[in-house]
Amino acid sequence: MLYIKCPYCGLRAQKEFSYGGDATVKRPNINEEVSSEDWDNFVYMRKSPRGKHTELWQHIAGCRQWIKVQRDTATHEIFQTAKVTEEIR
Amino acid sequence: MQKYSVFSLIKNAFSNHQNWEVAWKDPTPKSEYDVVIIGGGGHGLATAYYLAKEHNIRNVAIIEKGWIGGGNVGRNTTIIRSNFMYDANARFNEFGMDLWRNLSQELNFNVMFSPRGIINLAHSDAQMNAYARRGNSMRLNGIDAKLLDRDEVKKLIPMADFSDEVRFPIFGGLMQPSAGTARHDAVAWGYARQADDMGVDIIQHCEVTGFDVVNGKIKGIRTSRGDIKAKKVGLCVAGSTNILAEKLNMTLPIETHVLQACVSEPVKPLLDGVVTFGAGHFYISQSDKGEMVMGGDLDGYNSYAQRGNLPTIQHVLTGGLALFPFLSRLKMLRTWGGIMDMSMDGSPIIDKTHIEGLYLNCGWCYGGFKSTPVSGWTFAHTIAQDQVHELNSELRLNRFSTGHLLDEKGLGTKTWIG
């Protein structure tokens, strides 16, 4: 079981959260011309690193907020969590 | 090579089985090969075998970080099927079914292919309609499909919960009678033994640390056991695809996730083929030893750990219990995990890349084992001829940018997110 520290609610079990994928993927700017390649990169392409990964989770069975989690994809160790508006360093 | 048969078995019994030939050698890497296949799993071994057999390319090396057959080919739930709706997937995997049917004879190694059928259960009228459609598509591609009503399902799996109280009653199901299971280790070992016999070097405990690319052309690879020159390099590394892609400065429509499976203690024969639950993600079959082999959802987050967490197992088995209440009496023998190269539409990629001489075989999601022979066959063709075969002509990397996705489940991108 992973234990994730929600920045709003504190340490909770993984079962309360749902996963939202890589948090570093940026959506192309709205109302601007987007090349097919940029859109392709945004929708489909993922680095999926082995090691530190900054990702989105939603505290779906809690405060329902989206949060950022920095986690090791090889060991599952969680280093840091933050509100979605905050940066993870 | 010594032929395996009942006679060689009897002969070797007289010497207490001490004099069997080694099944494959342990060579030191040469400095140069025509083709280097990275990844000594089922797909890599099959690719090397078909390169040698179908294309007479024998100066081939398989480079494996661990030991052959130690990854997903030894971790899957051994299901073999071709019950796909889209033409590209159906044709590809049905060609694979033909390879499976003759595989034990071809490899002179009993892979225990046992076509006892797969039943996908339906729990609503809408699901029955969807299965009727899928069944019709399968039959148009020459694949056997049988739509079963509730009574027909009950005859085949009477131990399922057919009572009135269930939350998801069984309406019927779609059956592919020619689907089945095989002994996964034997598939890896059978391919390895034959490939080795035809001159392929199987190099284990050798990690790829980098690539030599000059002017957009592959020249060789760097490994923990020295540099190896190669005219062509094929990537067959499933869950490690992204790690190697990073060394090549490539980004792929792949995420790596952990998938768990589990087996119960062995019991007497009670389940003939494979059954999948239609109201949750759960599938089950019974091994020849009698263990119930079960699996279901991904853990759901990026992972290279080859081990998962308990909540997912509990979630999957909750679905299992809803379908087969008898499972509550069984003890769990073990659970394990493997890392999956999840493609963004749920279908695989077998293609050339923008680097000349570098070929890509990945994106197998949870379903790589069943495609082992056909994956090797088409990948060998793609490498040998430097062009995709008709069978993998739609399994290309550029389908994501052109919009020709093979989203078999019709869920759009990231079909694996629950």
In which domain, by residue range, is A71 found?
A: 3-25+42-83
Q: Where are the domains of chain B?
A: 26-109+183-252+345-398, 118-176, 254-343
Judge whether residue B253 has pLDDT over 80. yes
The CATH code belonging to domain B118-176 is 3.30.9.10
Query: Does residue A36 lie in a domain region?
Result: no
pLDDT at B107: 98
CATH class of B254-343: alpha beta
| B260-297: pLDDT as tens digits | 999 999 999 999 999 999 999 999 999 999 999 999 99
If you average pLDDT over residues B348-359, what whole number do you get? 97
Query: C-alpha angle B247/B62/B82, rounded to 5°?
Result: 90
Judge whether residue B300 has pLDDT over 80. yes
Pairing of strands A78-83, A66-72: antiparallel
Nearest to B83 by CA among B171, B155, B152, B178: B178
Higher pLDDT, B146 or A36: B146
pLDDT at B409: 77
The CATH code belonging to domain B26-109+183-252+345-398 is 3.50.50.60
Give the CATH number, domain containing residue A57.
Answer: 3.30.2270.10
B293 bridge partner residues = B263, B285
pLDDT at B416: 55
Confidence of residue B415 (pLDDT cuts 50, 70, 90): low
Mutate to test the interface with B, among A12, A50, A78 (most CBs of B within 10 A): A50
Among candidates B256, B302, B413 on the partner chain, residue whose Cβ is nearest the Cβ of A44: B413
Judge whether residue B55 has pLDDT over 60. yes
Is the separation of the CB atoms in B168 and B121 below 8 Å? no
Distance (Å, whole) CA B289 – CA B264: 11
Residue B26 CB: number of other CB atoms within 10 A?
Answer: 11
Judge whether residue B86 has pLDDT over 80. yes
Judge whether residue B211 has pLDDT over 90. yes
Among candidates A22, A44, A74 on the partner chain, residue whose Cβ is nearest the Cβ of B304: A74
Residue whose entry in the numeric block shows the structure tokens 């949060």:
A67
Judge whether residue B417 has pLDDT over 80. no
pLDDT mean across residues, chain A: 94
Query: Does residue A35 lie in a domain region?
Result: no
DSSP A17-67: -EEEEETT--PPPTTS---HHHHHHHHT-B---SSEEEEEEE-TTTT--EE
pLDDT at B411: 64
Cβ contact (<8 Å) for A46 and B253?
yes
Is the separation of the CB atoms in B239 and B341 below 8 Å? yes
Residue of B nearest to A47 (CA): B251
What are B's interface residues with A at a Cβ cutoff of 8 A? Answer: 242-243, 246, 251-256, 300-305, 309-311, 344, 400-401, 413-414, 417-418
Query: Does residue A33 lie in a domain region?
Result: no
Distance (Å, whole) CA A36 – CA B148: 45
Q: Residue B308: list chain A partners with CB under 8 A.
A: none
Mutate to test the interface with A, among B208, B240, B301, B313 (most CBs of A within 10 A): B301
Judge whether residue B208 has pLDDT over 60. yes
Nearest to A70 by CA among A46, A89, A45, A48: A89
Query: Does residue A32 lie in a domain region?
Result: no
Confidence of residue B414 (pLDDT cuts 50, 70, 90): low
pLDDT at A88: 86
If you average pLDDT over residues B107-131, what whole number do you get? 97
Confidence of residue B418 (pLDDT cuts 50, 70, 90): very low
pLDDT at A89: 75
Spatial neighbors of A68 by CB under 8 A, at least 6 apart, are: A23, A54, A55, A56, A57, A81, A82, A83, A84, A86, A88
Over pLDDT 90: what percentage of chain B? 94
Judge whether residue B320 has pLDDT over 50. yes
pLDDT at B209: 97
| A42-82: pLDDT as tens digits | 999 999 999 999 999 999 999 999 999 999 999 999 999 99
3-state helix, strand, coil in chain B (%, to 5): 30, 25, 40
Cβ contact (<8 Å) for B304 and A19?
no
If you average pLDDT over residues B97-104, what whole number do you get? 98
Cβ contact (<8 Å) for A49 and B301?
no
Is the separation of the CB atoms in B253 and B241 below 8 Å? no
Q: Identify the DSSP state of B198.
A: T
Mutate to test the interface with B, among A1, A25, A46, A58 (most CBs of B within 10 A): A46
Q: Identify the DSSP state of B61.
A: E
Residue B242 φ/ψ, nearest 5 degrees: -65, -30
Instruction: Answer whether B26-109+183-252+345-398 and B254-343 agree in fold.
Output: no
Is the separation of the CB atoms in B215 and B43 below 8 Å? no
- Name the minimum distance, in Å, from the CA of B238 to any CA of chain A: 13
